[in-house]
Structure 1
Amino acid sequence: MANEFKRHRRLRQSASLRSMVRETHLHPEDFIFPLFVVEGATENNDVGSMPGVYQVSYNNLKKELDEIIELGLTSVIIFGVPEVKDPYGKEAYNDDGIVQKSIRFIKDYAPQLTVVADTCLCQYTDHGHCGVVNGGVIENDTSLELLAKTAVTQAEAGADIIAPSNMMDGFVTYIRKALDESGFPQTPIMSYAVKYSSAFYGPFRDAAHSTPQFGDRDTYQMDPANRLEAKREVKSDLEEGADFLIIKPALSYMDILRDTREETDVPLVAYNVSGEYSMIKAAASQGWVDEKAIVTEKLLSMKRAGADLIVTYHAKDMARWLKE
């Protein structure tokens, strides 16, 4: 009788036994914490649509870094919120811009932290698009020149990794060439290789003040209906010199994450985006879900699907829970 079916439950009989055979684990070093640094503010600003997330005043960076280090987190990705915007996003490639200043401060105060610099123009342009606009059209090749300038100033400031998120064709090629020619051949590129035009980005645009002032981003971000297109984007970015690949968003695109893992062997990053974060925070505030349990399950699922690293606003909470 005992041989007529498999006894899978044998390995689930106790917490210690389940832990022994657990296949996927979370560690603080798996997480990249998004850090919004705001220019011209003396105090942190709450992001209303993202409970627990703040625009951090440059003046408060030290306190923020102390908390990050205490929690055992090892990497951050920097987004700037400038005081001044213009059609060409000049503050993005200002040597003394908010991101460049923040990178220099972090690398001086906490050199053990890995600093990833988000490389885009949308927070810095008065129209909110990720490139140069001419006659209502986002110009691809003109935008590449400005993005390359931005990447070089970020590397000069001390960024450990450049993470271009703009989705212009050829952005990895242009940035790789600019970095190499400027004396940064060892600076890796963490490409937002697969970035969908997603409704899950809404709260981020609140935090970064980057909502487009006209139209949408459908001509440069990917159609959520497409799977094969993601493979083409990954292939071209790898050929152009990307060192990491980001899949964004993560939760609704687990098939893309798995596809990419099976087809590549470079470090793979899942971006657990703002809408995914805010939905859980909202539900937890109503007592509808167990926040710790659901966040843990969500992040485990991303690693199980193939992610090596996860950009997540839950990083601080998850680091605290892992200490328990």
Structure 2
Amino acid sequence: MALLHNKVAQLRVKRGPMPDALQGVTKDRIRAVLQYLDLGSNADLVDCTFAMLDAETDSWFSKAPAGAKIADGASTAHLACHIGILQRDSGKLDREGRDYWIKPLREVGGFEAITLEKGEFILGHVKAKSPNSCYRLEEALKAVLKAPDDAWRDMLAEWARDDVSRERRAFQAEMAEASRKLVDSGHAHLIKASVENYAPRFLPGYQLLYVDDADGDRVSDAEHAKMAAAGVALTLEDAMPDALLWNPDTDHLWVIEAVTSDGEVDAHKVAQMNRMAERCGKSGVGFTTTYRTWKEAAARQGKHQNIAYDSFIWIQGDPAKQFKVSG
């Protein structure tokens, strides 16, 4: 992420301020469209939509299709940097706030969820929490934004009516599911194994409060209710673990991070979650990093060596034991 931040900051210095319009679309037009859709004029949502119109800046994916631009597909991190650095000449947007600048238009079909897979963008977020998950503007809404002044309102009204069409939504769902079948969601499977196999054996008495194993809402209504009953509240400043558990007898929390590409329990994550536990009045918090195989664990730790002291490691392929990291 730091490399991306520096790259975008250098681009900002080199190019200067963003133009007032991208593909002929101004932020005033975006605000008018959002207000028509009863989405207000949220500045972050306006700027996120503007970022998705950027057909001038080369894609920031290292393995993007030849000639791809930001408009062809941008991850949450890309959009956060585009908004905060290129557009505002400030720091990147907090990606945990994506519910405010991605979710509203995604829910009505204005932003399409896509994935960069084997050098091409395919429909749907086919692997949970993948760094290749990204977004682009839906073509019909893009046409509305680019339409002449005397035509865009009628086009938008038609688009809004079409949004409730079962046929359109069924087609999108069918295509996303077809894409999902092309990719094995190993991360989601590891989270499932961590919760269903590791936790009952090594964390008796702990109850699952929250699991982050899919796209969409980070915390469901049912999980919000569980956390409220446990006296736990996650804010945008807190780390979002793959799984959060609670022992009602000891009022102690436990964090599980399932790693297939990155995201181990490191010192930074320990500090974040300790602050959360203290804020919520908990007796403490424990940590486990899980891997699918010894080979994957060795590859990650041989390179990064970032597992925090006093945390644990569990290997799905060697499930009968866990290992404590001491120092």
Q: Same fold by TM-score, threshold 0.5 exceeded?
A: no
Which of structures 1 and 2 has the bigger CA Rg?
2
Instruction: Flag the structure with more relative contact order, 1 or 2, with Cα contacts below 8 A and sequence separation at least 6.
Output: 1
Q: TM-score, normalised by structure 2?
A: 0.25
The normalised TM-score by structure 1 is 0.25
